[in-house]
Amino acid sequence: MRILVTGGNGQLASCIKDVSKNENKLQFIYTDSENLDITNQQQVADFFQNNNFDWCINCAAYTAVDKAESDVDIARKVNKDGAKHLAIACKENSVKLIHVSTDFVFDGKSSILYSETDETNPIGVYGLTKLEGEQAIQDTLETYFILRTSWLYSEHANNFMKTMLRLAETRPELNVVADQIGTPTYATDLAQVVVSIIAQDSTNYGLYHYSNEGVASWYDFAAAIFELANSETKVFPIRTEAYPTPAARPQFSVMDKSKIKDCFNITIPYWRTSLKQALKNL
């Protein structure tokens, strides 16, 4: 099977490269915005017609949450229009689509785990445009998997884990927000699920939630990073108001993963277990 991976230089695509090395029956073709601009519908259509794909994994996204507030048009072009162009091309060429979305489609006002059927209500441009991308796919295509995830980190690209480790090299103390609650997710764990869906040639289409197990604040996440990395940097909890940002974040965005566990018979690692592995690999 031939699989197109957009956003090929990004974090998740890099993890897909890592976990798919031994998948001899799967051929992955990685693209980035230079050789496939997903915001250009004609370019996407031509690319699909000139190549014979069985699957497409859309890892391309505008993920600069704060910058999106002032960069609305570009965020929408990538997160909504790009997703729609890929969905149309997938439909016209009988290609199955796996699209990665976010917990930021929720407003964070829940006190219980978010399920796939819960009402969405994004509170920022990033979450809104990602939701619009989901909706464009659902309106266009039937053979899709949408995987909402949260707080992705890995050995690759820029992410919270690597930022904390970099800051710890020069700062003896850090203040980190403690009243935003979610689940850190090791991108390699998500990549393994994505590759297994393709390896099974699954037809369990639909919308799914995937993150690591457990619950944490950003403060908890940072404290665990320093503890497991044997760093002497001290971390202190602060409230969101003490660290104002252009974009609002959901205060609670922990997702219920029952559906994906049941449909694909998978066991999801606890977030600290995966963090330990990521730090070891790093």
**pLDDT per residue as tens digits for the range 16-71:** 999 999 899 999 999 999 999 999 999 999 999 999 999 999 999 999 999 999 99
Residue type, position 65, single letter = V
**pLDDT per residue as tens digits for the range 95-146:** 999 999 999 999 999 999 999 999 999 999 999 999 999 999 999 999 999 9
The partner residues of 181 in beta bridges, in order of sequence, read 217, 252
Domain-wise residue ranges, the chain: 2-150+185-211+255-268
Question: How far is it, in rounded angstroms, from Cα 71 to Cα 152?
Answer: 22
Residue position matching structure tokens 């922990």: 254
Mean pLDDT of the chain, nearest integer = 97
pLDDT the model gives residue 245: 96
pTM here?
0.97
Question: How far is it, in rounded angstroms, from Cα 188 to Cα 18?
Answer: 8
Q: How many CA atoms lie within 13 A of 87 on its CB side?
A: 23
Q: What is the CATH number of domain 2-150+185-211+255-268?
A: 3.40.50.720
The catalytic site residues sit at: 126
Phi, psi of 275 (to 5 degrees): -60, -40
216-to-5, 141, 224, 253 alpha-carbon distances in Å: 30, 35, 10, 10
**Angle, nearest 10°, between helix axes 41-50 and 83-92?**
30
